[in-house]
Amino acid sequence: MRWVNRRIGRGQALLLGGLPLALVVLGYVVAAAARHAENPADKILPLPGAMASAMAALLFEPDPLSGELLFWADTLASLSRLGIGLGIATLSALLAGLMLGALPPVRAFFSPLVTAIAVIPPIALLPILFIIFGLGETAKVALIVVGITPFMLRDLAGHISALPREQMVKALTLGASSWQLLLRVALPQALPRLIEELRLSLGPAWVFLISAEAIAADVGLGYRIFLVRRYLAMDVIIPYVGWIALLAVAMDFVLSRTSRLAFGWAHKARR
Amino acid sequence: MRWVNRRIGRGQALLLGGLPLALVVLGYVVAAAARHAENPADKILPLPGAMASAMAALLFEPDPLSGELLFWADTLASLSRLGIGLGIATLSALLAGLMLGALPPVRAFFSPLVTAIAVIPPIALLPILFIIFGLGETAKVALIVVGITPFMLRDLAGHISALPREQMVKALTLGASSWQLLLRVALPQALPRLIEELRLSLGPAWVFLISAEAIAADVGLGYRIFLVRRYLAMDVIIPYVGWIALLAVAMDFVLSRTSRLAFGWAHKARR
Amino acid sequence: ALALAAAMAVAGCSDAKSPAEPRTEFNIGWSIYAGWMPWPYAEQAGIVKKWADKYGLTIKFVQVNDYVESVNQYTAGKLDGVTVANMDALTIPAAGGKDTSVIILGDYSNGNDAVLLKGGSDVAAIKGRKVNLVELSVSHYLLARALETNGMKLADVKTVNTADADIASAFTSPAVTAAVAWNPQLTAMKGVPGTTAVFTSADIPGEILDLLVVDTATLKANPNLGKALAGIWYETMALMARQDAQGQDARAAMAKLAGTTPKEFESQLSTTFLYTDPKAAVAAMASPELVTTMKRVRDFSFAQGLFGQGARSADAVGMAFPGGKTLGDKNAITLRFDPTFMQLAADGKL
Amino acid sequence: MLRLSNVWVEYGEKVVLERISLDIAEGAFVSVIGPSGAGKSSLLRVILGQDQPSRGRITLDGRPLPAECGPDRGVVFQRYSVFPHLNALGNTMLGLELAGAPFTARLFGSARRAARAQAEEMLAAVGLADSLHLYPSEMSGGMQQRLAIAQALIMRPRILLLDEPFGALDPGIRADMHVLITRLWREFGLTIVMVTHDIKEAFALGTRVITLDKRRHDPHAPQRYGAGVIYDIALTRKTASDEQANESTSITID
Amino acid sequence: MLRLSNVWVEYGEKVVLERISLDIAEGAFVSVIGPSGAGKSSLLRVILGQDQPSRGRITLDGRPLPAECGPDRGVVFQRYSVFPHLNALGNTMLGLELAGAPFTARLFGSARRAARAQAEEMLAAVGLADSLHLYPSEMSGGMQQRLAIAQALIMRPRILLLDEPFGALDPGIRADMHVLITRLWREFGLTIVMVTHDIKEAFALGTRVITLDKRRHDPHAPQRYGAGVIYDIALTRKTASDEQANESTSITID
Ligand SMILES: Nc1ncnc2c1ncn2[C@@H]1O[C@H](COP(=O)(O)OP(=O)(O)OP(=O)(O)O)[C@@H](O)[C@H]1O
Ligand SMILES: Nc1ncnc2c1ncn2[C@@H]1O[C@H](COP(=O)(O)OP(=O)(O)OP(=O)(O)O)[C@@H](O)[C@H]1O
Ligand SMILES: [Mg+2]
Ligand SMILES: [Mg+2]
């Protein structure tokens, strides 16, 4: 049977998909063991035991200063920033993307501006962001929003404007106004694509969150990573990164499930 | 006429699109003037004159030490890093995206790994990245590649696997092997989407380039920005950022033109 | 990913093995700081080549824009030596088990680091404020010393970790009212209206030291490296200290390398106590005050958890000083203050 | 009512339609026939307002046709195009909802129930009573085509443009559709332009049959000349009973 | 040659086809008719190997049919599906290129010229001689359908599955197509299964006509019962001359 036709069952897929991940972990352990054989105090590739004990302190021992369990405090802070950032980005991408995609005059007016914002690296203009948003939570959320919205917006606008022209004509003959067309034709077909974009944006969103937390923060997963990077505490960094990956994969899974449940029509068409 | 039906001519579009950009520039100048009225020594929002004189030195006066015109040396260095990074990313996204999109067993095997890599923020693992790739050009290019490939790859794989099933069946009845199917059906239809993704990745690519140059470099647009950031020299940073935006917009334009010229069929269908 | 893991293993192994053997090529990392600018200048002015040739070596100076990353890369074995502050030499490579030798004591900060307050004229006014600084760095140490000398504890303020690249612009935000920073950022930050430096490193002279460290094993196998570096350093120092046009040109070139103006660079130099004379550096390294300083630094670092999870006491990391003095675990000495090469320079035997 | 004067349709170099002049009376049922690729769909698109003619003008009641399509014109496209995100009921109700709720574009309460009943009735008329909740991707080709017909017919537009509407239907259902469309045409006085390949159908339903084809052909430059109206046959208006007799015996010459 | 034994096709709850048992002889021309939504396209998909039957088995020459489609079967889908990124010539040559160049999937030099000539001939046969360089998006519906036919026919597959292949064509071109397909069927001994709504066409072309429809209907649960074969009529094999006479007079009863 040709490879393009091989269908993979759920169980098989889990097994197959787990394999490379397991290999990576194995490769890491081997490399770490090799380094430790050379230098038992090596910090670059800590052994799993060292990571476990380093993490145990963050997980279970309250911080003497704040009395908090640092790991959980970090997670909570980062997730809430990420959540707010993603929420604002998604909402504004949806609104603006619909308008830009469906209304040519709006597109003509805004698309050069949007392109410009999309290609300006926000981290290069941090001082200006600080002036506008200060240094608190707003600035961190703003960096996420500024970082991922342009991509989502442009992709969504492209998706909307690529909807078959017949659909638009059809809606107009059914008496739709521009507003109604946005609401009943463009919006519902934008939503599954929006979820797809959100999934693709999770990686960049974490990058911007971590950058923001590296710049000025006193709690958060990115804060901890950059703080302990000062003394190369890879035994904390690696578990933290793994945890971030786990959180992101979980979000990815939830989003893809949601899309299948809520927008079945979009997935049936592709069987 | 309804807004969805208004068609905007080329000239009109230029005019309309230029307006918000002009407004942003105007807004900046007004804000800068206001700040300077308060504090004539303000460094955060320099006046255009200050930027011009700061840039003149970088543009036209050769550096006494190296004899180079710094601005052009920076531009050249950054563009070549970016070019190599984008090239590698595009190529590997294309190859891997085709396989993942068209061959279900490959997808089952790699997709969890790809998702994991996509959601791991590379800047959290910078020390490891630099350890693997050294402090030279490789690491900077690698950061761009690691940063944008996962997005391109996943989006492309999604695009390929969403091609109508009838097309695949049709190709198989015409006697296509898996390889031929990739080559003659999936690849040509992937290319316009790839260009689209490349356009969407330009912003993130610059972000990663600048982040890499911020950490380890001795020439480059990002290096210069982070170098003078210590002195809050916004009179250099803002023109540099503007220049980056200009370069990126130019690339965006060239890519979109190329796509229209080379893959007319993909754009005709959307008229 | 497998390739990645393999690359990691290879990178790890190759670096771990090489230092023991004699080599002729070396990489020294540096980052921008007033006290370290002589190194890249020396490379540009040909001083490096001159001394390297003399000992039959090739020495490359690699700029790492991000200071922490330069020290990390040294620790990881990608660099043979690096410019570093005393506290970071202790907490990053030495605490990481990398046997490190301090061969050049370049300067101490004499006002290059400071605690800044908006709307407050003494340290007491800092109580209860949010302080932006690079946590776990010499700034943190300076803050701890400032609070200690004024009868307060670190718990009396709330620290906010702020990247050194961004602290200058962050300080212009009205929301930030207290910060600790070093030069060159410090100069830019003092320009913000209403700012006072309430405590500077000039109040604790000799405690914040700027060093050049190299890997001990590499140095043992290649003593010529130490000689060449000392030669380079003191020739450059002599040139730089000259108050004539030549000295001025050298300093102007350093300013350019640091991305700043000669005027600003001179002002930074004025708050840096340079050991231009090797004899003075040797004496400073041999003095008991260094032990006191390092003990203080060590206790602070341990209290902040900088020695990592494995360390159960402040003695976990061993340090050796000239004259056989030691601090901490004698069996695990990983930071050695080694005046041999500065002494050779002082004796004119290079 | 609808008048085309010297209309040309060109795609770049290629002339598709040339010198089309037509007068379509209110209440007419115009069948358009012609070879594949002649430009029948292009003609409909121009009347619809989706495309602009490259030359010539189109007037409706003496006023130039607005360059956009509106609710006065209904359409069934050649490739059944229904909204993929709505099920059969949703697709059919959409027009009613848009008309009834300018702002929310959704109906609630009794208005919704009324619209739903109307949509169900229309779907039953096209034989989709069993498939109210299927999405287009779950329907066969013929079912999608019938859905498109139901969607357009429920609005009773003044001008109805049909592009091979019954092409994918079996003879039985096709006969039902003929009855349905004739009934609506009579009841609401619609003006219908229908493209078809079934000549029997064209003559059975239409009050007028128009044939599009190339008048000239240049073998070296086939794109040089476009198609025009080569036959324009007015039929005497049949009565409803004729029609039905015709359908039930189903014997015709094509 | 092709045998379906007790084949069922179900989509979730919905039974589309039930208890289909068929024996299709080598060289047969089977016409399939039935109401819209009966499951004709589903039957073709199952024979094609695109979908798997939920129950029952299909054998080809006594061996179970591989669960994937291959070059032994050709297909023209109901919704004309050609490759959007290839022009008419490219679409038609594709099969030849795939067969001739396993690795590059492209032909060069004389092989390419030969393939091109063959493709041009086939396109001329379906009336697209003027449209060699048009992309599908620039073609009318009927032109795309003819292109799909040319693309499938050029490969001369052992089993050819046609889903309403002539639905969007005008009577003139349709007659040409009938001649073409009959000629190829005779010349190459193809086995053809064709779905059509045109009963006249079904009887004129086929050697056997199969009618699919529901045998039972539960008004409360319409999805409960699927369609089966309700008529299976073998026709005496017509001669080529009969065929042509038939076409030219064009009088039949439907
Ligand atoms: N994905 C699906 N989910 C549920 N039902 C489906 C799905 N696909 C097809 N069906 C149902 O299967 C039945 C048969 O569809 P099929 O396309 O085979 O009909 P057909 O006989 O070809 O009709 P037509 O003449 O209209 O093309 C239809 O009633 C349709 O609703
Ligand atoms: N975008 C385009 N670019 C170039 N030519 C086009 C384009 N769109 C349509 N055409 C040409 O216009 C002509 C008429 O197309 P149209 O769809 O109107 O034909 P039709 O009469 O509806 O045919 P059918 O009966 O096959 O549907 C065709 O020859 C087609 O090739
Ligand atoms: Mg047409
Ligand atoms: Mg069908």
Cβ within 8 Å of residue A212, ≥6 positions away: A81, A139, A140, A143, A144, A222
**Chain B residue nearest residue C167, CA to CA:** B230
Q: Whose CA is nearest to atom 26 of ligand 2?
A: E142
Q: Whose CA is nearest to atom 3 of ligand 2?
A: E138
Instruction: Indicate the average pLDDT of chain B.
Output: 88
Instruction: Indicate the average pLDDT of chain C.
Output: 86
Whether the CB of E174 is below 8 Å from some CB of chain D: the reply is yes
Ligand 1 center–CA E18 separation, angstroms: 14
Q: Are residues B167 and B257 in the same domain?
A: yes
pLDDT band at C10 (very low <50, low <70, confident <90, very high): very low
Percent of chain C with pLDDT over 70: 93
- Asked whether the beta carbons of residue A174 and residue D151 sit closer than 8 angstroms, the reply is yes
Whether the CB of C311 is below 8 Å from some CB of chain A: the reply is no
Q: Are residues B116 and B8 in the same domain?
A: no
pLDDT band at A87 (very low <50, low <70, confident <90, very high): very high
Q: Tell me: pLDDT of E244 over 80.
A: no
- Asked whether the beta carbons of residue C72 and residue A232 sit closer than 8 angstroms, the reply is yes
Pick from D52, B263, D220, D213: which is nearest to E137 by CA? B263
Percent of chain E with pLDDT over 70: 93
Q: Whose CA is nearest to atom 9 of ligand 1?
A: D138
Whether the CB of B105 is below 8 Å from some CB of chain E: the reply is no
Q: Mean pLDDT over residues D222-238, rounded?
A: 79
Atom of ligand 2 nearest to the CA of E143: 26
Q: Are residues A21 and A93 in the same domain?
A: no
Q: Are residues A184 and A258 in the same domain?
A: yes
How many structural domains comprise chain A?
2
Q: Are residues A209 and A258 in the same domain?
A: yes
Instruction: Provide the residue type at D241 as one letter.
Output: S
Separation CA C63–CA C82 (nearest Å): 10
What single-letter DSSP state applies at residue C28? E
End-to-end, the C-alpha distance of chain C in Å comes to 49
| Rounded-to-10 torsion of CA C110, C115, C117, C123 | -100
Q: Tell me: pLDDT of E12 over 90.
A: no
Q: Are residues B35 and B57 in the same domain?
A: no
pLDDT of residue E50: 86
Higher pLDDT, E231 or B94: B94
Q: Tell me: pLDDT of D142 over 80.
A: yes
Q: b or e along B16-39 (b: 16 or more beta carbons within 10 Å of the residue's beta carbon)?
A: bbeebeeeeeeeeeeebeebeeee
pLDDT band at C243 (very low <50, low <70, confident <90, very high): confident
Task: List the domain range (segments joined by +) for residue A177.
Answer: 46-270
- Taking only the tens place, the pLDDT of each residue in A155-181 is 999 999 889 888 989 999 999 998 999
Separation CA A224–CA A240 (nearest Å): 9
- Asked whether the beta carbons of residue B3 and residue A105 sit closer than 8 angstroms, the reply is yes
Higher pLDDT, C55 or B215: C55
Whether the CB of A1 is below 8 Å from some CB of chain E: the reply is yes
D233 phi, psi to nearest 5 deg:
-110, 120
How close, in Å, is residue A68 to chain B by CA atoms?
Answer: 23
- Taking only the tens place, the pLDDT of each residue in A222-251 is 988 888 887 778 888 899 999 999 999 899
pLDDT of residue D240: 41
pLDDT band at E239 (very low <50, low <70, confident <90, very high): very low
Separation CA C120–CA C325 (nearest Å): 43
pLDDT of residue D238: 53
**Chain D residue nearest residue A191, CA to CA:** D85
What ligand has the least distance to the C-alpha of D40? 2
- Taking only the tens place, the pLDDT of each residue in D55-110 is 898 998 888 888 778 888 899 998 768 999 999 999 999 999 999 999 998 999 99
Q: Mean pLDDT over residues C63-85, rounded?
A: 88
Pick from C99, C88, C92: which is nearest to C36 by CA? C88
Q: Tell me: pLDDT of C267 over 50.
A: yes
The answer to whether the CB of D162 is under 6 A from ligand 2 is no
Q: Are residues B152 and B28 in the same domain?
A: no
Helix spans in D49-170 (H):
88-100, 109-125, 141-153
Q: Are residues B174 and B242 in the same domain?
A: yes
pLDDT of residue B65: 66
Q: Mean pLDDT over residues D116-125, rounded?
A: 94
Ligand 1 center–CA E48 separation, angstroms: 16
Q: Mean pLDDT over residues D176-189, rounded?
A: 92
Chains with 3+ CB–CB pairs under 8 A to A are B, C, D, E
Spell out the domains of chain E, with CATH numbers in brackets: 2-72+157-253 (3.40.50.300)
Q: Are residues B126 and B216 in the same domain?
A: yes
pLDDT of residue E249: 38
pLDDT of residue B70: 86
The answer to whether the CB of E134 is under 6 A from ligand 2 is yes
Percent of chain D with pLDDT over 70: 93
Atom of ligand 2 nearest to the CA of D45: 18
Q: Tell me: pLDDT of E228 over 50.
A: yes
Whether the CB of D171 is below 8 Å from some CB of chain E: the reply is yes
Q: Are residues B109 and B136 in the same domain?
A: yes
What ligand has the least distance to the C-alpha of D146? 1
pTM, to two decimals: 0.90
Chains with 3+ CB–CB pairs under 8 A to B are A, C, D, E
Q: Are residues A34 and A103 in the same domain?
A: no
Chains with 3+ CB–CB pairs under 8 A to E are A, B, D
Q: Are residues B38 and B124 in the same domain?
A: no
Instruction: Give, for ligand 2, the residue of E82, E135, E139 to mutate: max count of ligand atoms closer than 8 Å to Cβ.
Output: E139
Q: E10-16 — which CB contacts under 8 Å span 24+ positions? A: E10/E54, E10/E226, E11/D138, E13/E223, E14/E223, E15/E223, E15/E224, E15/E225, E15/E226, E16/E42, E16/E226, E16/E227
Which residues have C-beta under 5 Å from ligand 3, the single-atom ion? D 41, 78; E 140-141
Residue with tokens 């000539």: E117
Query: Are D32 and D40 a contacting pair, CB within 8 Å?
Result: yes
- Ligand 1 contacts (CB < 6 A) are D 134, 138-143, 168; E 11, 14, 16, 34, 36-42, 78
How close, in Å, is residue E63 to chain A by CA atoms?
Answer: 15
- Asked whether the beta carbons of residue E84 and residue B265 sit closer than 8 angstroms, the reply is yes
Q: Mean pLDDT over residues E133-156, rounded?
A: 92
pLDDT of residue C83: 94
Instruction: Indicate the average pLDDT of chain E.
Output: 86
A210 phi, psi to nearest 5 deg:
-65, -40
Cβ within 8 Å of residue A104, ≥6 positions away: B3, B4, B6, B7, B8
Q: Tell me: pLDDT of D239 over 50.
A: no
Instruction: Give, for ligand 2, the residue of D8, D40, D193 to mutate: max count of ligand atoms closer than 8 Å to Cβ.
Output: D40
**In chain B, which residues have pLDDT < 50?**
270-271
pLDDT of residue D122: 94
Ligand 3 center–CA E142 separation, angstroms: 7
How many CB atoms neighbour CB B92 within 10 A?
14
A168, containing H or E segment: helix A165-173
Whether cis (ω within 30° of 0) applies to the bond prior to E71 is no
Q: Which residue of B5, B165, B166, B268 to mutate against D (max D Cβ within 10 Å)?
A: B5
Query: Are D180 and D208 a contacting pair, CB within 8 Å?
Result: no
Whether the CB of D222 is below 8 Å from some CB of chain B: the reply is no
Pairing of strands E191-195, E159-163: parallel
pLDDT band at A84 (very low <50, low <70, confident <90, very high): very high
Q: Whose CA is nearest to atom 31 of ligand 2?
A: E139
Lowest mean pLDDT among A147-161, A246-260, C157-171, D157-171: C157-171
Provide, as residue numbers in chain E, all residues whose Cβ is less than 8 Å from the Cβ of B271. Answer: 137
Output the domain CATH number for residue B120. 1.10.3720.10
Query: Are C184 and B230 a contacting pair, CB within 8 Å?
Result: yes
Phi-psi group of E104: left, alpha or beta (phi > 0 → left; psi -120 to 50 → alpha; rest → beta): alpha
- Asked whether the beta carbons of residue A203 and residue B150 sit closer than 8 angstroms, the reply is yes
How many CB atoms neighbour CB C311 within 10 A?
16
pLDDT of residue E214: 87
Residue with tokens 């073609």: E139
How close, in Å, is residue D225 to chain E by CA atoms?
Answer: 13
